[in-house]
Structure formats: C-alpha cells, structure tokens
Amino acid sequence: MKFGVFDHMDRAGPDLGRQFEDRLKLIELYERAGFHAYHLAEHHATPLGMAPSPSVFLAAVAQRTKTLRFGPLVYTLNLYHPLRLIDEICMLDQLSGGRLELGVGRGISPYEVGYYGVDPATGPERFAEMLSVVLKGLTAKRLSHAGKYFTFDDVPMEMQPIQRPHPPLWYGANSLESADRLAGQGLNAVVGMKAEAVGAFAARYRAAWRALGHDEANLPFIGLSRHVVVGDTDREAQSAARRAYALWYDALIHLWRAHGVGLPRQMIPAEFDGALAGGYVVAGSAATVRDRLKRDNDVAGINYCLCRLAFGDLSIEESRRSVDLFAREVMPAL
C-alpha cells in the first residue's frame, strides 16, 4: 500500500497568495511524512479549483521537494494545444528529476470546457486524439499526425521527459466498465465511488490485467480517494471536517448551481453525515481513522490510499495535525 494526496485547491479564503504558500508548506510536510505523490486537480471559473494552470503550481512544487512525486489529476486535455502541453510535461519532468505523474482526462464539467469554446459533445473523441498526439510527441524525435482535430507535419520535438517512454499515466474512473480499457492501456486509476463499488472495479481491473498476460506484481495503482481529517478525538476531528466539507461541497456544485441544474452524477452526499457514513469523509481520532480506512481499503481491494488532507477552510495548523497523526499512527498500520 502506498499513500498519496489529492488536492482540488478549492478556495480557502480571500488571500490566494497565502493559500499557495501554506499549501507548499504542507506539501513539504507530505514529503517528510512519506507520501508517494501529490496530485492536483484542474478546474476553471469556479472556486473548486484555484490552480487552473496546474503546471505553474507544480513547477513550484518541483522546487520545494526532492523525492515526492507529483502531477495533475488531471490535465483537462481538451483545453490544451498538444504541442504546448508536451513542452510543459517535459519541462516539469526535467525540473523535478523525473518525478512527474501524468494524469489525463477530458474534463467532467461541460461548463468549464464550454467557456473555452469546446463542445462537450466532442469530448471523448477529442480526448482520444489529443492523448494519442501527446504520447507520440513524448516518445518521438519528430511528430507527424493527421486527425480530425489536429494535423502536424514533421514537427521537431526538442523537449523530452526524463522518464521514458513517458511519465506514468493516471486517469479518474467513475464506472465499472472503464476497468477493462484502463487495464488494457496500463493506466493507474483513481476511482470516485464507495468502497464496495471500488472493490468491483479493482476485481475487474485485475482480471483484465491477468487476461493480458501481465504479472500481478506489475499491477498499476488502483486508488480510492476520500477526505481525511485526524484529530486527538473524534469530536474534534469531525467538527473541523463538518465545517470544511460544507465549504468544499459548496465549491463542488458552484457551476452547476449557477446554471440551475444538479450534478449529473450525485455520487457524493451533500450532507456531511451521509458522506461520513459512506466513507467519502473519514474523520476522527487516529484509531477511528485507522480502523475505517483498513476496513474500506480491504473491501475496495486497492493498493493506493489517496487522501484529501486540505480542503474547505481547514487551517494549516489543522491540516498539519492531521498529517502528523496520519503518518505516525495510521500509515504504519495500513
């Protein structure tokens, strides 16, 4: 089992510069605590994502850390020109000495891609072509491609990543059916469902992986993401988590509410008590968090435990306390 951190970088207050600096201090702590990687979301025109250019923030992460791996989860590929993104990926991998984890996706919000003039209906097709072009560009000396959305004729690829053929790929999965495709592509997967549903996904992914003749020892990461707050007592931790979760959820639904519609897939409970009961939030003393994660991790069949340790209005002191207790009393037991 390895441990990672996922961060929406949702708005924590009016002072964005301070939020960035506090987050970088926490990321330094994640490294010292032994986390495998830090994963940053990309969102636009919403308080859910105050790092709409992940590469910019991750360049700072590269300079503030030495061993921690990091990357976008995900780059919204349909909002980029492939040549520009190839250069950014190569630069980050070079700046970090080969520590980039490359998350890719098409974007879950039609409003965000719509602001950029991208038709959401073209999302899957555009994403597939974009990913193909990016992988070609990361692995070849020259890039040629003739497709529906992009055409390139013998473009020199001056930049290359350190990791060959390219940095490890990640994808955010939300359906059981995607397990076969992701296993076939060898992608690391983070699944946004309850532990029981993630267990079905993990079993199907493993079966597809074995059917392709791959060794279980080389299985990519299969992760489950949840909000985690650890405190000295259940009451203390759950009080902080309840307060911060309400603000995070408000940011999550911001654009959907602004357009007068609900979330297309209401997988995450709006109310804190429902989120806590369902395991979307794990909050309590170290013993409470340890026992819940152990149970859910076993049910989910995962090998990657992904935690949101900073969200809503959690102070840097509250998040530091969570990280300290989590690293000292939870991680060793899992």
CATH number assigned to the domain comprising residue 220: 3.20.20.30
- Containing structural domain, residue 314: 2-73+168-227+296-333
Instruction: Give the rounded percent of residues in the chain with a pLDDT score beyond 90.
Output: 96
Question: In which band, very low, low, confident or very high, does the pLDDT at 265 lie, cut at 50, 70 and 90?
Answer: low
The predicted model gives 214-218 an average pLDDT of 94
For residue 199, give the 3-state DSSP assignment. helix
The predicted model gives 189-201 an average pLDDT of 94
The predicted model gives 44-56 an average pLDDT of 97
Query: Is the pLDDT reported for residue 70 higher than 60?
Result: yes
239 belongs to a structural domain? no
DSSP for residue 233? S
For residue 151, give the 3-state DSSP assignment. strand
Q: Report the alpha-carbon angle 252-256-260, nearest 5.
A: 145
pLDDT in tens, 234-250: 999 999 999 999 999 99
Helix (H) or strand (E) holding 307: strand 304-308
pLDDT of res. 192: 83
For residue 134, give the 3-state DSSP assignment. helix
Query: Is the pLDDT reported for residue 48 higher than 70?
Result: yes
pLDDT of res. 329: 98
Question: In which band, very low, low, confident or very high, does the pLDDT at 107 lie, cut at 50, 70 and 90?
Answer: confident
pLDDT in tens, 77-104: 999 999 999 999 999 999 999 999 999 9
81 belongs to a structural domain? no
The predicted model gives 294-309 an average pLDDT of 97
Query: Is the pLDDT reported for residue 257 higher than 70?
Result: yes
The predicted model gives 68-82 an average pLDDT of 97
Question: In which band, very low, low, confident or very high, does the pLDDT at 325 lie, cut at 50, 70 and 90?
Answer: very high
Residues 6+ apart with CB under 8 A from 171: 74, 103, 104, 105, 178, 182, 187, 188, 189, 190
100 belongs to a structural domain? no
147 belongs to a structural domain? no
286 belongs to a structural domain? no
Query: Is the pLDDT reported for residue 266 higher than 70?
Result: no
The HSE-up count of residue 46 (CA atoms within 13 Å, CB side) is 29
pLDDT of res. 303: 97
The predicted model gives 257-269 an average pLDDT of 80
CB 157 within 8 A of CB 90: no
276 belongs to a structural domain? no
268 belongs to a structural domain? no
105 belongs to a structural domain? no
Single out the residue of 6, 92, 83 nearest to residue 43, CA to CA. 6
Count of domains for the chain: 1
